[in-house]
Structure 1
Amino acid sequence: MYVLGYDIGSSSIKAALVEAQSGRVAGSTQYPASEMEIRAPRPGFAEQDPDIWWQNLCRATRQLLDQTGVKPDDIAGIGIAYQMHGLVLADKAGNVLRPAIIWCDSRAVEIGQKAFRDLGKDFCLTHYLNSPGNFTASKLRWVREKEPDIFAQIHKIMLPGDFIVFKLTGEIQTTLSGLSEGIFWDFKQNDLARDLLAHYEIPEHLLPDRVKTFGIQGTLTRHAAAETGLRPGIPVAYRAGDQPNNALSLGVLDPGQVAATGGTSGVVYGVADRPMTDPQSRINVFAHVNHRPEAPRLGLLLCINGAGIQYAWLKNQMAPAGSSYADMEQMAQSVAPGADGLRVLPFGNGAERMLGGQNPGARFLNVQFNRHKRAHFYRAALEGIAFSFVYGFRILEATGMTTQSIKTGNDNLFRSPVFASTVAGLTGCSVEVIQTTGAVGAAKAAGFGAGLYGTLEEALHTAEIETRYTPHGNSKGLREAYEDWLGHLNQLIR
């Protein structure tokens, strides 16, 4: 038997089939090959058509079935990971009322800031573990204020993953983790965030019914089966936002474990067993996939906008034509740790929440024309991004979170030994690079939800560690370089 996982991104739809007994990945694909359109009708807006997600999921599914030869009758469960914080609105007939307002849309920032002031900082951090911010609840309030005719037609709101499950099963539901990411959940009351709903004048009945993250959430309808090429009756048995799902895919389930991603932007996602907040709201806290009120598992999420985008920019501007990241890595390794005093601040991709919303921009510091060559810039850039991750780890640790190990996928900056060993050396934690993806993790989680595995750990145990970086004893040079880098940063953000 096989399990099928989807990762519903804003760029593409990824799909993977996993053989349940062995954990072997039978195949994976993504559709479309080019990035999906994000429309910006006004500055700060970001919208997508949810029906395009569905159409591309159907195409990805047929492509995957053709590629693998797996028969639909042999698929025992479906899992969904999805882009977080989006807002989909549907009427009573299930029709989408307007384009989805997605994660990178900033139209509701001021609405969230005002709610934070009106309800009170202490109240919000105690009850919601976050500021209402620019999350789904604030986006819904924006619709109420700016598009009252559309708001009046709403039957139910959905997160992007809820919409996909609706298209598959005909059921409109959500999860506790989903409610928390939208700031619809009150952790102190263990119930809906009724104070925020009342403040925003949002009727409770607009929220979907809640189901468990793992378990049968509905079965594939005949119509959905015809569109996807699957069979009717396959259970949807798991759903979660992409960051909690990425952590799950890496086996990050318990306190002390951290998942990290070094893509275009960076993410550090730690797990805690009790509420932890940052007074400066530099981190977000949501219910993790395995959270239960009697056994809390909370995901602490910190974002770094200036990560892989900075290294890609450097490659495009400085590397000779035809150079690869492997070529850059080889040159970076030829330079000693600390890059002979050259420092790079990678913050050139907009305001950084972990810097209190400031935007210091990217900086190249201490450049010596007679000493520093291209290889020094490569090394300093990798170290500078790694230093920003370490800075983020320090923020998480200040909340009381402990870190025992860092796990990451094999498709990002952590493939660089210079980068990964710098993070390991300065955090004092081993860094494990694991062979998995979000779609594969969602498939395995669906196997647990469908009852194919006795425990979640059993479902995930087959993910292989590709490389492990351990903290090295001689980190003095790195520590001195980090402190120098930190001094430059502090001068800019005071």
Structure 2
Amino acid sequence: MAAKMKYLAGIDAGTTGVTVMIADTHGHVIGTGYREYPCRFPHPGWVEQDMELMWQRICEASREALAKTGVNPQEIAALGFSSQRGTFVLVDKEIKPLADSIVWSCGRATEELKWIKENLGADRYHDITGVPLSGLWSYAKIKWVIDHRPALFEKCHKILNGQEFFLHKFGSEDISSDPASITLNGMMDIARLDWSKELCSLINLPIEKLPPMKTPARQVGVISRNASQESGFAEGMPICFGAGDQQCAAVGAGVIREGLAEITIGTAMVMVAHIDSRKKDPKHRVLIGGSGIPNKWDMEGLAFATGVCLRWWRDTYGQMEKQAAAALGMDTYDLIGAQAASAPPGCKGYLFFPFFTGQVTPHYADQARGGSIGLSLIHDRAMMARSIMEGGAYENRMIVEAMEEVIGRPFDSIRLSGGGAKS
């Protein structure tokens, strides 16, 4: 007799780590697994990741979640998957990486951005895609690969986001994408919710190298024998394409009508708002993209380094907090958060600028960098930690104000998710 299906599994492969979650069929989380993985910085401003190492960490986190819950893998009905967006990897016909992935925060495409602006124009680009022209999107970086790594590009069979690559590792033979996953690729025809033929033609990108577009939230295969042995999930279990990580978070937070928005605070801070119809921002500040709800749109604002800045603080200056947290059996971030809570609002005039990887919404200043002002002898560690959090909050205020101008009214509700929501 087949086991009764009592549980669901979900995986979110983010930029700095992967979370594997097991829940019952009522949505109650009964256990999680987590593993960090690094980014690589081969040149100033470049950011890459080892996809095979990330796969190892995904499997480790999966086994951890299963071990913590004690769940029989045969009782898990299906696995859903989401991943970071705007990070892409070139693969061969065997769907094996030809090089490390180029991460969404990578800033290598400055000259390519200038070329696109000169040969297409920011207004035309925005009309096609619904997003402001920026070198942070995959589009300019793919042109960089075409121009600077022609032999690599010639070998490339497909250009995949993480979600497609890792689902294939789990056993999917359906190598496809969806409109809710590719906003940050910066090459979608927003009216058609499909790849833009005009943009592909402009940079000599054969559209066949991109995965075909389908709808989000669909089954794409079952767990293979090899993936079962590596991850611990049951062979033959259905695996499902979710959507972009932030689109999944928004739907999960109940953002399904205009007037509602959700902010995820993780590596980046991302705000997603549902819109009832496709809108335009004449000032080119916010992003219009595909929603996690099929055939619908959403509006986004991005702050790329909110969580990274706090991790930088932890790893660069937080050795004392790490040691104290270990002795107390606490998470280091919880201890840093407690310190920050003890500092006064405004940090006595100390202001932190969290633009470590550029400023995104609403100014799209790729070359902007972080900094601080107002530091004096009255400031201490607690105020410095708090200023990092406040800097992220101030940056997100710019996003909220831009979005409310586009929809013409204040939001009814803004909901929080992600690790930063615990603070």
Q: Is 1:151 aligned with 2:166?
A: no
Out of 223, 241, 264, the residue aligned to residue 244 of structure 2 is 241
SS at 1:152's partner residue? helix
> Quick one: distance in 1 between partners of 2:265 and 2:201?
38
Report if the CA contact (8 A) 1:269-1:300 is conserved: yes
SS at 1:28's partner residue? strand
Match of 1:349 in 2: 356
> Quick one: distance in 2 between partners of 1:40 and 1:251?
37
The Cα of 1:325 is off from its aligned counterpart by 3.7
Q: CA RMSD in A?
A: 3.2
Higher relative contact order (CA 8 A, sep 6+): 1
Out of 28, 42, 48, the residue aligned to residue 32 of structure 2 is 28
Match of 1:331 in 2: 342
> Which letter does structure 2 place at the counterpart of 1:80?
F
> Which letter does structure 1 place at the counterpart of 2:167?
V
Q: Is 1:137 aligned with 2:139?
A: yes
Residues 3/360 of structure 1: CA separation in 2 closer, same or farther (3 Å cut)? closer
> In the TM superposition, what whole-angstrom CA distance separates every residue of 1:463-484 from its partner, at most 9, and x where no partner exists?
xxxxxxxxxxxxxxxxxxxxxx
> Which letter does structure 2 place at the counterpart of 1:93?
E
Residues 112/377 of structure 1: CA separation in 2 closer, same or farther (3 Å cut)? closer
> Quick one: distance in 1 between partners of 2:390 and 2:276?
31
The Cα of 1:63 is off from its aligned counterpart by 2.3
The Cα of 1:400 is off from its aligned counterpart by 2.6
> Quick one: distance in 2 between partners of 1:318 and 1:178?
35
> Quick one: distance in 2 between partners of 1:349 and 1:154?
31
Q: Which is further off, 190-199 or 126-135?
A: 126-135
Residues 147/219 of structure 1: CA separation in 2 closer, same or farther (3 Å cut)? same
Report if the CA contact (8 A) 1:170-1:221 is conserved: no
Higher-Rg structure is 1
Out of 404, 408, 419, the residue aligned to residue 411 of structure 1 is 419
Q: Which is further off, 154-163 or 108-117?
A: 108-117
Match of 2:230 in 1: 227
SS at 1:210's partner residue? coil
Query: TM-score by structure 1 length?
Result: 0.72
Report if the CA contact (8 A) 2:215-2:294 is conserved: no
Report if the CA contact (8 A) 1:127-1:189 is conserved: no
> In the TM superposition, what whole-angstrom CA distance separates every residue of 1:441-481 from its partner, at most 9, and x where no partner exists?
xxxxxxxxxxxxxxxxxxxxxxxxxxxxxxxxxxxxxxxxx
Q: Is 1:208 aligned with 2:229?
A: no
> Quick one: distance in 2 between partners of 1:117 and 1:275?
27
Report the identity percentage: 25
Query: TM-score by structure 2 length?
Result: 0.83
Match of 1:188 in 2: 191
> Quick one: distance in 1 between partners of 2:8 and 2:314?
40
The Cα of 1:227 is off from its aligned counterpart by 2.7
> Which letter does structure 2 place at the counterpart of 1:245?
C
Report if the CA contact (8 A) 1:263-1:309 is conserved: no
The Cα of 1:281 is off from its aligned counterpart by 3.9
> Which letter does structure 2 place at the counterpart of 1:161?
Q
Out of 9, 13, 36, the residue aligned to residue 14 of structure 2 is 9
Report if the CA contact (8 A) 2:288-2:297 is conserved: no
Report if the CA contact (8 A) 2:255-2:274 is conserved: yes
> Quick one: distance in 2 between partners of 1:373 and 1:228?
45
Report if the CA contact (8 A) 1:348-1:361 is conserved: yes
Match of 2:254 in 1: 251
The Cα of 1:59 is off from its aligned counterpart by 2.1
Structure 2 unaligned segments of length 5 or more: list them. Answer: 1-5, 326-334
Report if the CA contact (8 A) 2:110-2:135 is conserved: yes
Q: Which is further off, 36-45 or 354-363?
A: 354-363
Match of 1:300 in 2: 300
Structure 1 unaligned segments of length 5 or more: list them. Answer: 417-494
Q: 1:313-324 alignment to 2 at 5 Å?
A: 313=313, 322=324, 324=335
> In the TM superposition, what whole-angstrom CA distance separates every residue of 1:100-157 from its partner, at most 9, and x where no partner exists?
1121222223323422332222222122012263322332222222222221222222
Residues 316/57 of structure 1: CA separation in 2 closer, same or farther (3 Å cut)? closer
Out of 400, 405, 423, the residue aligned to residue 393 of structure 1 is 400
The Cα of 1:313 is off from its aligned counterpart by 4.2
Q: 1:41-120 alignment to 2 at 5 Å?
A: 41-120=42-121
